[in-house]
Amino acid sequence: MTFPIEQVRANFPSLSTTDDGQRRIYFDNAAGTQVPLHTIDRITDYFQRYNSNTGVFNATSVEVDAMFAETTAALADFLGTSDPGEVIIGANMTTLTYQLSRSLAHRFVPGDEIIISRMEHEGNVTPWLQMAEDNGLTVRWLDFDRDTWCVEPEALIPLLNERTKLLALNYASNMTGGVNDVKALARLAHESGALVYVDAVQFASHRLIDVKDLDVDFLACSPYKYFGPHLGVVYGRRDLLESLHAYKLRCASEELPYRFSVGTPAFELIAGLLGTLEYFQWLAGLMGVTGSRRELFSVAYSAMGEYEDHLSTLLLEGLLSIPGLRLQGSKSVARRVATFSFVHDQHAPSDIAKALSSQGLYCHWGDNYAVEVGKALGLDPVEGVLRLGLAHYNTEGEVYEALEIIRRVLA
């Protein structure tokens, strides 16, 4: 059926907000997405009805416990595991990665090696570099292919050996949009006895994740990049999470998923995350589908992805027709997400961003925390790129209007 874009947009109040009468075109979604009413209503309901800490017998506390359990169960379905204990919720992806890197360091000894791809957001780089420095580990860099804009298996194979203990890899680049074959790369790493830590932050808003099919050890994502509140989520294999040295208070629970909780969780945001996951189920219902929660997630993401691919094709065609513009990523919608970065031979990214923003076209510029990607591409370390990111609530009309604005600015 036709994607129900009008009903979708009606569910996102911010999309109708104007600035002194000027509409907003949200093309900055790679940095963070807008949120639906399902999310907003859940947060509001939490504060109005059961704002409480957890673990005691009053009615509000019992309801918080139930909400947390329901959210982790829904997240497990969302990520493709049957075990809610394998889902950790924290402040953000970077904080959780730092926390787990500190725990994982207990498994490694001086002389061990870790591999980090050059496609990474810095949140999946610096924690491992500092872990390596603190523990005498060797860091090997895994390059990406400039034709496919992905990490290819043949580039990983020569770096693997019996000393390799960890591969840090992203699912999709937050600068180029390239999507890695995580399943194939994880299999190679596992054959050498290495663990695999995947940053799926840029992937999770565009395609549905299946951690068990990927057979990865850890996978991190950020709900605020997939229409939820500002939180971080990490999937981890139960056997690993149970065996790791957990940095936590002495009196904190040893049970999963609480074992890696540090301090009181932001329960109002966790309630909002449950609302976000309910939004995906609502969207599947608009498509006329019923079924299990995982099945509804699959239908919603299939519809979102197909619609986004259509918008991406239009945007790519338009960008590639602009003189002086150089795309930093694949010129095809295949094996990429809807994140597009470019430079221009006459205008600095910061100047372009300022001009676009003044006309209500939301965008980002700079290195976007993809420091190694910028180095590999020879980009200006300060200016970086101009970045646009689409979401399923954007429209054809917005794409055409955005292209017209960009053409005017770059002319």
Q: Can you give the pLDDT at residue 244?
A: 97
Using DSSP bridges, classify how beta strands 25-26 and 218-221 pair: parallel, antiparallel or unpaired. unpaired
Q: What is the CATH number of the domain that holds 217?
A: 3.40.640.10
Q: What is the CATH number of the domain that holds 367?
A: 3.90.1150.10
- C-alpha atoms less than 13 angstroms from C-alpha of 158 in its C-beta half-sphere: 6
Q: Can you give the pLDDT at residue 205?
A: 97
72/156 same-domain check: yes
Strand partners, 22: 19
b/e burial code for range 23-52 (CB count within 10 A of at least 16 → b) = ebbbbbbbbbbbbbebbbebbebbeeebeb
| Contact in structure between 28 and 389 (CB atoms under 8 Å) | yes
Q: Can you give the pLDDT at residue 18?
A: 96
217/175 same-domain check: yes
Catalogue the E-assigned strands of 20-156: 22-23, 25-26, 87-90, 113-117, 138-142
136/230 same-domain check: yes
Angle at the Cα of 295 from the Cα atoms of 173 and 284, rounded to 5 degrees:
85
| Contact in structure between 206 and 340 (CB atoms under 8 Å) | no
Range of the domain at 308: 5-27+292-410
Which residue, 248, 276, 304, sits at the end of a domain?
276
188/50 same-domain check: yes
Q: Can you give the pLDDT at residue 190?
A: 98
Q: Per-residue pLDDT tens for 285-300?
A: 999 999 999 999 999 9
Q: Can you give the pLDDT at residue 313?
A: 98
Say how far apart CA 27 and CA 39 lie, in whole Å: 21
77/115 same-domain check: yes
Which residue, 220, 249, 276, sits at the end of a domain?
276
| Contact in structure between 38 and 279 (CB atoms under 8 Å) | yes
What global pTM score does this model have? 0.97
Q: Can you give the pLDDT at residue 179?
A: 98
CB atoms within 10 A of CB 333: 17
Which residue, 249, 276, 303, sits at the end of a domain?
276
With a cut of 50, list the residues of the chain below it in pLDDT: none
Q: Can you give the pLDDT at residue 305?
A: 98
| Contact in structure between 274 and 267 (CB atoms under 8 Å) | no
| Contact in structure between 180 and 170 (CB atoms under 8 Å) | yes
Q: Is residue 103 part of a domain?
A: yes
Domain count across the chain:
2
253/332 same-domain check: no
